[in-house]
Structure 1
């Protein structure tokens, strides 16, 4: 497999594995930031929206509510288990204008200018060539349409993130990541540079510092189990998994919050 295929396979495997904890209440930030992204877009009734890397619907669900029954939202993700979770929520809410699909955002096949708005929340950085991916999204946008890309800010999930990788290093140093992919665009300057390389000269970019409260170190572990960290945890045998969990949580005594800073970008075509 080439680099792109490997990246897609890893992302799909990690988030399919994480699906059982993805919607746990301790990870409510997925939906909070998804809704905030939609609010920044100012969607109007009747508009057509494409949401890629949609997860279980953190942005797709509020987008469908915003465009109303005369609008349409197509929500796409590589992880079929997350897509199934989102589709179940859409049915529960009676959102007949929301269509969840398993698919690759780089190979959807829509013609140019198909949508009034495109959304990508916490997903663009999983693609090795973010510029090419952004160009593809921009291509499908109608003149006057809006593209929203939301990414993580600096120091994501610290101090728990550092404690997690220290625990992994002590048990399986071969699994330690040299970098987290979102670090490439974790600042307004980095995100603006990437958009510029994709041919998007103007964008409203807002950095929002924040933290996510946890009641105990065990809450952090539930976050890890319902996120991309699961891809690493899935490679551990049962005894190693237990030791990593114990080492990770032992380093977080007294921790009451993890960092969840976000960078929002909205560009009009």
Structure 2
């Protein structure tokens, strides 16, 4: 099993490094889209002046950079599997004159930090991709100090996330997709209520709560939506790379028709829903 997890991690690292340029290109739109979730994570963690904070699956830097900007003598360690994503995070920090951060390429299942190292941990949209989610939760609990706080976010059910299902629905309708094994990493793996809460409970965390956070992907036009999703969404790019030109054109036409029906006024602002889970460590 460990070898299988290692293969998944290597694949994920390759994919995220490969897509880092797309994330950099669309960073402003994506960070605006994801901000309500990041704001809720920051609100729940309530970072204090001297806190040492770990941000896991940092990507291009959020919410770790916002947390760092609110600390005085404190510091944030941004971590990710993909060094190219962390390079963008460092660029974003420099542009915003945020100096109290470090970056560390590492695997959440083998965090290179001593026990009780951090006052708080943030992790926005990482959990559903971790090969061994329970081990990830245990590692987070291990490096958290007694009295420490953790907040993470995962995507809600597909029916509440049209920004994903619009394009993936058209792909699945027109292409035979390989069956995904139950429990395999994926967008909606943690969508059911209680999935992450149970992981936290088994890891010894307490005072666990869940809250649903709505968001809006403000694409404005279908062109922007299509270009964004075909730049940053790995499952979309992987599927379309296997399609012939006719199939690809058919999928694109169906997505555009769907958007025209749903957003008749031409203003493509797509609803989303996420679950933010909070917990504390008291032993």
* Short-chain TM bin: 0.7 to 0.9
1:12-57: CA deviations, max 9, x gaps? 2332233223242332223442233122210011111111100101
User: Which runs of 5 or more structure 1 residues have no equivalent in the other structure?
Assistant: none
> How many residues end up aligned between the 2 structures?
268
Answering whether residue 25 of structure 2 is matched by residue 21 of structure 1, we say no
Q: Secondary structure at the match of 2:89?
A: helix
The alpha-carbon distance between structure 1 residues 238 and 213, as it changes in their structure 2 partners (threshold 3 A), is same
SS at match of 1:181: coil
- Please name the residue that 1:254 is paired with: 261
1:218 match: 223
Is 1:91 paired with 2:87?
no
In the alignment, which residue of structure 1 is the partner of 2:265? Answer: none
Q: Which runs of 5+ in 2 are unaligned?
A: 263-267
Taking structure 1 as reference, are residues 103 and 235 closer, same or farther at Cα in structure 2, changes over 3 Å only?
A: farther
Q: Within 5 Å, give how 1:107-256 maps onto structure 2.
A: 107-155=110-158, 158-169=161-172, 172-175=175-178, 177=180, 181-224=186-229, 225-229=231-235, 232-233=238-239, 235-236=241-242, 239=245, 244-255=251-262, 256=268
TM-score relative to the length of structure 1: 0.86
User: C-alpha separation between the residues in 2 aligned to 1:104 and 1:234?
Assistant: 29
Kindly indicate whether the alpha-carbon contact (under 8 Å) linking 2:162 and 2:272 is maintained by their aligned counterparts in 1: no
Aligned-residue Cα RMSD (Å) equals 2.7
TM-score, structure 2 as length reference = 0.82
In structure 2, what is the equivalent of residue 48 of structure 1?
52
